[in-house]
Amino acid sequence: MEQHDEQTVVTNESGTGIVSDDLLVVSDLRAGYGKKHVVFDVDFHLRRGEIVTIIGHNGAGKTTALKTIFGMLPTLGGTITYSGEDVTTSNCRHNALLGMSYIPAERFVFSDLSVLDNLRLGATHVRSAEERDRLTERVYEMFPLMSERSSQLAGTFSGGQQRMLSLGIALMSNPTLLLLDEPSLGLAPALVAEIFDNVRRLADEEGLTVLLVEQNVKQALRIADRAYVMRSGRIILEETAEEMGRRKDYWDLF
């Protein structure tokens, strides 16, 4: 995916173009539901090909931040810049066309459609049949069960299998940025490790950039490059995953 190797040109106040490795820059973000603010003055960034995790307890504002970045919720303040473009007021359709893909924490598959039809829906905006076939084969290679049961109705899959399929659907759009919300939720440890390993592989081999919201701190830090801690709607700490992994516990942060 050649777009992953590109650098972003950002224009500063003097009008000079600056080359940046940042794919996503969130500045002073405020977000919530209606007039209720849940996220307050949040700043963070993702470099291209990087996996960044946001960790914190339920209710910290992690999912709200993801939904706002993707355009599912309106911003209440601040700016969101994606690949050099201001997407602060963009909707999710526009952001998806730009290369974002979002996987919610709840199961997100079309239950009454086959596995293959679910995957094809993920590639709606991919015009080339050859590219759609390549993307399908990539998903099948990552998750052989999807190939073995391509004609099975998605609704008959277990929760873990549906989670794998939802990741496959997201990858069928050939995203540049994957917004991944609680992929470990309700899954067996072995399956969690498999999903996380595949995410790390996509970052390493294809330059996929990933923003991972997760409560399974150990698994998240295992594959992440950097980590942010969110508490009560605010980012309170940024460290490398290695630095954060050396902490004895996280309760003082949460």
For residue 163, being part of any structural domain is answered with: yes
Structure tokens that stand for 222 in this block: 């295992």
For residue 50, being part of any structural domain is answered with: no
Instruction: Write the pLDDT tens digit of every residue in 130-182.
Output: 999 999 999 999 899 999 999 999 999 988 889 889 999 999 999 999 999 99
Angle in degrees, CA 120, 146, 179, rounded to 5: 65
For residue 167, being part of any structural domain is answered with: yes
For residue 143, being part of any structural domain is answered with: yes
pLDDT computed for residue 78 by the predictor:
97
Cα distance between residue 236 and residue 228, in whole Å: 8
Find the domain containing 135 and state its range.
110-174
Asked whether 33 and 61 are in contact (CB, 8 A), the reply is: no
Phi, psi (degrees; rounded to nearest 5) at 248: -75, -35
Cα distance between residue 70 and residue 95, in whole Å: 6
For residue 231, being part of any structural domain is answered with: no
For residue 28, being part of any structural domain is answered with: no
Instruction: Write the pLDDT tens digit of every residue in 187-227.
Output: 888 888 988 999 999 999 989 999 999 988 999 999 999 99
Tally of domains within the chain: 1
